Chains A and B, each alone.
Chain A
């Protein structure tokens, strides 16, 4: 029963051991890293912006609905949008979405290379394919996804503003007052810690699924789906653990 999960865990750990090794050539690693950073960052900016603007907008509208008729001041909407964005929505939802976009892309790319014998060809040349093919993807993700999450958080807060101020839900001053209230700088750190952990999980799991794919196009499709599903589950589990470790008093 536990044989297969243990086998995959062992193979994953072994893969990571080989990923973290000296590149054959730093200039080639750097070139690949820049390509990955561009693909992950610029390639995902629009979808992240779109999702985050709606997250902020919906959060503002729903909290306005919940606070209606209570004694809680209206400016709390700004405060709630800010904190829920920083602590939960921006890192978690962005990374769940990126697991679908970036993760499945990585799994497909590596899986396709495996099936077309590109990885074997590189292995024969003496290339450390773990380091050269997987390393830049994981490192690129860890460097760029927190930036995307930060941009996403700012856009989400703007989304909250756009949904509430122009519609007359509350005034601009109230929203800004909310944003300035009860600010805990650690929440920004918490957001970035989550983003780094989630980006590591989604990139490494997706690379693992793609690198070790066996069989044909059906198996490649399954590996791509598995990459997204496992990444999403691990992100949610890690979110819970991080909340327990870092956000409980």
Chain B
């Protein structure tokens, strides 16, 4: 479980996060949603320590990330995996080398053991036999899947995904969502996903944190997100005239 307490972050005169307090639960897909510029990415980057908040506490179990020194942070980060918006695959390495990199860096496994683990991860993301391809030879969806494979290769306790569906078609997006969701459940990891894809919200949003103007405006689950009385959230969900029309036709 991850607890963020009173997270504040300011860039110059712009107060991006205005004291966010929330909890990300274990074994669940915890979504951070909100409009562009609401502070989602800064919050996610604060959670993983890429951005240092001005104020607040971030608890990974019983460890406060913000009280750790660099060395202790690195040890905690061995328990984290992250899927980046652009996948962030090392483009001069093959798929296999990309996934093997954390194993090379942090384990004393033999080459054979590493290859077995890499193949397990590739099989899990349904990319068997793509070991020797380079990222440039893969589609966007396949790159995301390689990114997921690399993120889970060290069997992390925490998985962070920054807009995993950006740039993907709706069908591939759903496949990526389902993949993340099933991995979260079968490995009982705490997954935090930053998204503004409503399909994701309705498919995998075990818990949903709606951020508006740097503040947590709504917290709940996918079961009650549509019925929420938060007007801003409703405007976010039913942003298009088409959806608004559908909602009014449904009598809401």
Residues of A with Cβ closer than 8 Å to B? 18, 24-25, 28, 116-118, 120-121, 123-128
Contact = CB atoms under 8 A, between A and B. Distances in A.
Given A18-B70, A126-B75, A120 B106 contact: no
19 contacts: A24-B74, A24-B106, A25-B105, A117-B84, A118-B88, A121-B82, A123-B50, A124-B80, A124-B81, A124-B160, A125-B77, A125-B80, A125-B106, A125-B154, A126-B75, A126-B76, A126-B78, A127-B74, A127-B105
Nearest to B48: A124
B74 A126 contact: yes
B75 A116 contact: no
A98 to B, nearest CB: 22
Nearest to B81: A124
B56 interface: no
Interface of B: 48-50, 70, 73-78, 80-82, 84-86, 88, 90-91, 101-102, 104-106, 154, 160
Nearest to B107: A25
B77 A126 contact: yes
Contacts of B81: 124
Given A24-B74, A124-B81, A126-B76, 18 more contacts: A24-B106, A25-B104, A25-B105, A28-B104, A116-B88, A117-B85, A117-B86, A120-B88, A121-B90, A123-B77, A124-B48, A124-B50, A125-B80, A126-B78, A127-B74, A127-B105, A128-B70, A128-B74
A64 to B, nearest CB: 49
B187 to A, nearest CB: 17
Contacts of B84: 117, 120-121
A123 B70 CA distance: 10
Contact of B90 (A25, A118, A124, A126): A118
A121 B143 CA distance: 14
Contacts of B76: 126
B78 A117 contact: no
Contacts of B86: 116-117
A85 to B, nearest CB: 37
B77 to A, nearest CB: 4
A180 B81 CA distance: 64
Nearest to A130: B70
A118 B87 CA distance: 9
A121 B48 CA distance: 11
Contacts of B105: 24-25, 28, 125, 127
Nearest to B84: A117
A124 B88 CA distance: 12
Interface-central residue, B50, B76, B88, by most chain A CB under 10 Å: B88
Contact of A125 (B49, B85, B102): B102
A23 B242 CA distance: 56
Given A121-B84, A123-B50, A116 B91 contact: yes
Contacts of A121: 82, 84, 88, 90
A93 B105 CA distance: 38
A129 B102 CA distance: 13
A121 B80 CA distance: 11
B88 A117 contact: yes
In this complex, the member of A121, A123, A128 whose beta carbon has the largest number of chain B beta carbons within 10 angstroms is: A121
Contacts of B154: 125
A27 to B, nearest CB: 8
A123 B74 CA distance: 8
Nearest to A24: B105
A117 B48 CA distance: 14
A55 to B, nearest CB: 35
Given A116-B88, A118-B90, A120-B50, A126 B82 contact: no
Q: Point out which of B48, B82, B105 has the most chain A C-beta atoms below 10 A from its C-beta.
A: B105
Contacts of B78: 125-126
A51 B221 CA distance: 68
Q: Which of A117, A125, A128 neighbours the largest number of chain B CB atoms within 10 Å of its CB?
A: A125
B122 to A, nearest CB: 18
A215 to B, nearest CB: 14
B97 to A, nearest CB: 12
Contacts of B160: 124
